[in-house]
DNA sequence: AATGCGGGGGA
DNA sequence: TCCCCAGCATT
């Protein structure tokens, strides 16, 4: 039951995206002059160290990994020593790095290398990907760094670089987008040939370095200095001013919807408003009285019924009719507002309900007198236009 | 407080 | 096959 396959079926690469001929060469050249060269897991072809670093670098930034890496290889310098180490010792060396399943898989992987590969770490991506904790991208990185194998990586950094350079819209975590990017990654590799091995080391590292140091999420360096990025003159996002919107962010989870009933209590051309507490939604603004709505769904009929009940509590015979419905979108939820109009006719209202809420009348002819939330303002403006009093 | 992050494992 | 999760850092 093979759970993993080294190479997903190569889809017809989107013909609309052209990879410039010198894409790989530019990355290679840039890496050799401007990339990182002194990380503790560089300048070696030891697959053990390269593998260990790649696992540590999954979901974890370079700065956090360096110390753990040094400590780990000092304590367990070879795959054989790791395989022979007690699980406790491995976990202790990992403690603080997070994602502890990585450490458990690391240990399992070392044992598999000993038992199934004679203690020799594989360098073929198709073999690597069968080992615990090694997926397609990590397999390619290990193979490229340890043996110059021509196989593409596609981690978060590379996805960001590709989304921008090639102008690929859509969330890269989405299946279709990721598939396109893998196809692109295959085509973007530097050419096979006599320099392939050295080039693949620089290219693979270069993509990582570009994403980490130049093509950063927040403020890509090209915005201040186009020369900082070797791809800036062929970058779609930079050309079209889309570095802020590419890559497309993860779609926000559907936000919950709440509903409320607001009362438009009319007394001639005055409307009763109350002051909201300083903290919370619309803090310090004047809003319409609201009725707590517990029942879901709460339809328009129920809103009118409830408003009639409130009117009855005011002691006045009155009608209560739905005056408007609108949805206001907050960061965390959508608020469906049903406004019910209640007319108090000529009846005067006591000002001093003793519940600690500031209330007052607001004239529809002077809406600027008080600060009101945008949806409330819309309701009041509607009343001002439609009211016949 | 929300987002990013490679791969595993469960739905 | 798809989606959710892990733990920490960063924004």
Distance A124 CA to C1 C1' (A): 26
Q: Are A271 and A263 in contact (CB under 8 A)?
A: no
Q: Can you give the pLDDT at residue A233?
A: 96
Residue from A54, A186, A240, A257 carrying the catalytic annotation: A54
A262 domain residue, yes or no: yes
Contact between the CB of A12 and strand C at under 7 Å: no
Q: Is the pLDDT of residue A6 over 60?
A: no
CATH of the domain at A364: 3.90.79.10
Q: Is the pLDDT of residue A332 over 80?
A: no
Number of compact structural domains in chain A: 2
Contact between the CB of A96 and strand C at under 7 Å: yes
Give the C-alpha separation, A122 to A128, whole Å: 6
Answer with the residue of higher pLDDT: A60 or A251.
Answer: A60
Please check whether residues A68 and A126 belong to one and the same domain: yes
Contact between the CB of A133 and strand B at under 7 Å: yes
CATH of the domain at A226: 1.10.340.30
A250 domain residue, yes or no: no
User: A363: Cβ–Cβ under 8 A, 6 or more apart, which residues?
Assistant: A269, A270, A271, A369
Strands A257-267 and A334-343: parallel
Instruction: Tell whether pTM > 0.95.
Output: no
Whether the upstream peptide bond of residue A297 has omega within 30° of 0, thus cis, is yes
- To the query of whether residue A54 is one of the catalytic residues in this protein, the response is yes
Please check whether residues A190 and A282 belong to one and the same domain: no
Which range marks the domain in which residue A175 is found?
23-239
Please check whether residues A269 and A149 belong to one and the same domain: no
Q: Is the pLDDT of residue A296 over 50?
A: no
The nucleotide minimizing the C1' distance to residue A219's CA is C11
Please check whether residues A324 and A293 belong to one and the same domain: yes
Domain boundary among A179, A209, A239: A239
Residue A66 buriedness (CB in 10 A; 0-12 / 13-18 / 19+) = middle
Joined together, the tokens standing for residue A388 give: 């016949």
Contact between the CB of A218 and strand C at under 7 Å: yes
* Dihedral sign (CA A42, A90, A155, A255): negative
Residue A79 buriedness (CB in 10 A; 0-12 / 13-18 / 19+) = buried
Distance A68 CA to C8 C1' (A): 14
Strand C bases contacted by the protein (CB, 7 Å):
1-3, 6-11
Strand B bases contacted by the protein (CB, 7 Å):
2-9
The nucleotide minimizing the C1' distance to residue A104's CA is B8
């Amino acid at each position: 039951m093979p759970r993993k396959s080294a190479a997903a079926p190569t889809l017809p690469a989107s013909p609309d995206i052209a990879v410039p001929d010198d894409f790989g060469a530019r990355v290679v050249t840039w890496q050799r002059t401007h990339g990182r060269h002194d990380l503790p897991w560089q300048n070696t072809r030891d697959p053990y160290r390269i593998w260990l670093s790649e696992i540590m670098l999954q979901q974890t930034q370079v700065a956090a990994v360096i110390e753990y890496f040094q400590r780990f290889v000092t304590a367990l310098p070879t795959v054989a020593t790791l395989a022979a180490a007690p699980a406790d010792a491995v976990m202790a060396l990992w403690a603080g790095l997070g994602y502890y399943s990585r450490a458990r898989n690391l240990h399992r992987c070392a044992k598999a290398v000993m038992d199934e590969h004679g203690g020799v770490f594989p360098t073929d991506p198709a073999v690597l990907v069968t080992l615990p904790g090694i997926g397609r991208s990590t397999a390619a990185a290990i193979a490229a760094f340890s043996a110059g194998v021509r196989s593409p990586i596609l981690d978060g950094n590379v996805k960001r670089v590709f989304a921008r350079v090639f102008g690929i819209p859509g969330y890269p975590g989405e299946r279709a987008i990721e598939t396109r990017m893998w196809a692109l990654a295959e085509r973007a590799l530097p050419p096979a040939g006599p320099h392939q091995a050295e080039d693949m080391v620089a290219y693979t590292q270069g993509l990582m370095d570009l994403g980490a140091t130049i093509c950063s999420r927040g403020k890509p360096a090209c915005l201040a200095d186009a020369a900082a990025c070797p791809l800036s003159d062929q970058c779609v996002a930079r050309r079209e001013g889309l570095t802020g919107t590419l890559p497309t962010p993860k779609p926000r989870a559907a936000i919950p919807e709440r509903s409320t009933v607001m009362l438009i209590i009319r007394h001639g051309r005055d409307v009763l408003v109350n002051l909201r507490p300083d903290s919370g939604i619309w803090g310090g603004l004047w809003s319409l009285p609201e009725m707590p709505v517990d029942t879901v769904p709460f339809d328009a009929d129920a809103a009118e019924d409830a408003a009639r009940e409130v009117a009855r509590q005011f002691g006045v015979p009155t009608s209560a009719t739905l005056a408007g419905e609108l949805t206001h979108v907050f960061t965390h939820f959508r608020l469906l507002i049903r406004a019910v109009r209640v007319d108090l006719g000529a009846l005067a209202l006591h000002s001093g309900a003793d519940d600690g809420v500031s209330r007052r009348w607001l004239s529809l002819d002077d809406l600027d007198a008080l600060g009101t939330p945008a949806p409330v303002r819309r309701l009041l403006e509607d009343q001002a236009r439609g009211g016949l009093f």
